[in-house]
Structure 1
């Protein structure tokens, strides 16, 4: 009786030469270690670019998502978000190798791919779970018309640039405020450094379980960013007097039109996203590195303690 192969998903940005070249290195290392590389069946461009490397299995055809051991992602945050979609129905953690710009979700940079592959093959990594969001949309009559999820954020936005949308916001079943705005962002701690950050929301450490709620360009006296508990339900109703439709976006990847009177309820999802970590480090260090924050003058606890002692 032979052992089942180790199925490892490889996700890369198929239209970037550096990502495809890196995928080749990853797949070669997997094959050499006796593992079976797996590609997304609908990623025709990547499958074609790597067709000379055999054997490669296809996710959903040759390999069910439940059998994937880990997903190795070569790209930026958008590619990592796509990988999260692919493994949503399984338990595979995601190892992000940054081939983009900031790459906040990525664990490592591209210059240490070979070391990373040795760690993956040896199963020498830790897994960190990140909370996700679920979103349910009901029409004015109360019928559920759409459901989705997000790792970073769910946003309710206006569809027409020249018009505001009118919304009423509710927290835990109680109305909070009504205002005109460009939209509302509901973010996880993971997404707090994404759209939420750009909209002026707070940066939330991943170890904190909470949701950030940030109105976008609200025409109101009280429209400040809010931080609510992880079990809170955030509802955003598009008032019937809104001129035109709104749009719901999940991670900037999945969308659905919101007619006047639609109600969007966002809450914590029961299914987390799992991230593989090779070098667990304080989130503060990640912020400083990714945003290139100035820390000149920092003396640290040891030097500070020494100075007090002196």
Structure 2
């Protein structure tokens, strides 16, 4: 079994969890390949006793990988998606961060969870993505024109609001006068969209949600639409440009650029343990069902 390993940062006390991960994989005789920059980060930290010089590295993935281990928080999983793309490699999220909505494995149960996964005792949760194109074409967006969580429009270098003219399937919906607009997948509904008042969507829902950011037109509310819809956005404001983000990747677009957003033609597969579920994650992460009146 060939397994890719990726992380963005070296968190305090990470050596304990990284060593447990590697020990569990070595026990199962897995072929371990570590992302090149992450290997450099590991080798620069003296806390880890083992030398990583003998491990193979990658800068790009191919279909020969069986699993892709993402070590960190949800942000690391979002970055992992840019490596996996449309290859269909299942992602195992190991949460060494804080909230961790997307992570499969909590750091307290690394060894037993990896054993379970390597014995093929897991299920796959398929997650839809958004794809984006622009007119004129943007060189900042084109190489990785997809997002697992959301596409977000935000004002840039100004305190003034922007206008986001929005069409769905070529039919005019409204113009959001606001700080911006979020178009989120069900996976992204528990992220930026939720913090701006958007609804929580089950990942199995075939939908996306439009959530305005601090709208000036107070009758503007989050709007859930089918995920086979195609959106056309045109942004204008006092400044000549604005920001667009695809998950954590940020680009600048000029006013009146046409933005086309639709469901991507591929999905991301997240490994999920049989006893876990989205409902369980919500209950634990958002403390639903807990009586805090005492």
TM-score (norm 1): 0.85
**For residues 73-152 of structure 1, what are the structure 2 equivalents within 5 Å?**
73-139=70-136, 143=137, 145=139, 146-147=141-142, 148-152=145-149
CA distance in 1, matches of 2:15, 2:85: 24
- Give the superposition deviation at 1:196: 0.6
Q: CA-to-partner distance for each residue in 1:143-168, whole Å, 9 max, x for gaps? A: 56533110000001111241211221
Instruction: Tell me the equivalent position of 1:154.
Output: 151
Report the number of matched residues.
285
CA distance in 2, matches of 1:209, 1:180: 27
Q: Alignment partner of 2:265: what SS?
A: coil
Report the more deviating stretch, 280-289 or 94-103.
280-289
- Give the superposition deviation at 1:173: 0.7
Find out whether 1:216 has 2:213 as its counterpart. Answer: yes
- Give the superposition deviation at 1:103: 0.4
Instruction: Tell me the equivalent position of 2:5.
Output: 10
TM-score (norm 2): 0.89
Find out whether 1:247 has 2:247 as its counterpart. Answer: no
CA distance in 1, matches of 2:176, 2:267: 32
CA distance in 2, matches of 1:205, 1:216: 22
CA contact (8 A) 2:168 2:229 kept: yes
Q: Alignment partner of 1:82: what SS?
A: helix
- Give the superposition deviation at 1:270: 0.9
Instruction: Tell me the equivalent position of 2:51.
Output: 52
**For residues 21-32 of structure 1, what are the structure 2 equivalents within 5 Å?**
21-32=16-27
Q: CA-to-partner distance for each residue in 1:47-75, whole Å, 9 max, x for gaps? A: 555771464111247xx431111112221
Report the more deviating stretch, 14-23 or 106-115.
14-23
Find out whether 1:256 has 2:251 as its counterpart. Answer: yes
CA contact (8 A) 1:167 1:238 kept: yes
1:36 to 15, 25, 31: 31
CA contact (8 A) 1:201 1:212 kept: yes
Residue 94 to residue 47, structure 1, CA distance change in 2 (3 Å): farther
- Give the superposition deviation at 1:86: 1.6
CA contact (8 A) 1:36 1:55 kept: no
Residue 29 to residue 283, structure 1, CA distance change in 2 (3 Å): closer
Residue 108 to residue 34, structure 1, CA distance change in 2 (3 Å): closer
- 5+ residue gaps, structure 2: none
Q: Alignment partner of 2:76: what SS?
A: helix
CA distance in 2, matches of 1:47, 1:88: 27
CA distance in 1, matches of 2:276, 2:41: 35
The ranges of structure 1 where at least 4 consecutive aligned residues each deviate by more than 6 angstroms after the TM superposition are none
Q: CA-to-partner distance for each residue in 1:221-261, whole Å, 9 max, x for gaps? A: 5421100001001222013x54231111011x212111111
CA distance in 2, matches of 1:254, 1:296: 38
CA contact (8 A) 2:43 2:51 kept: no
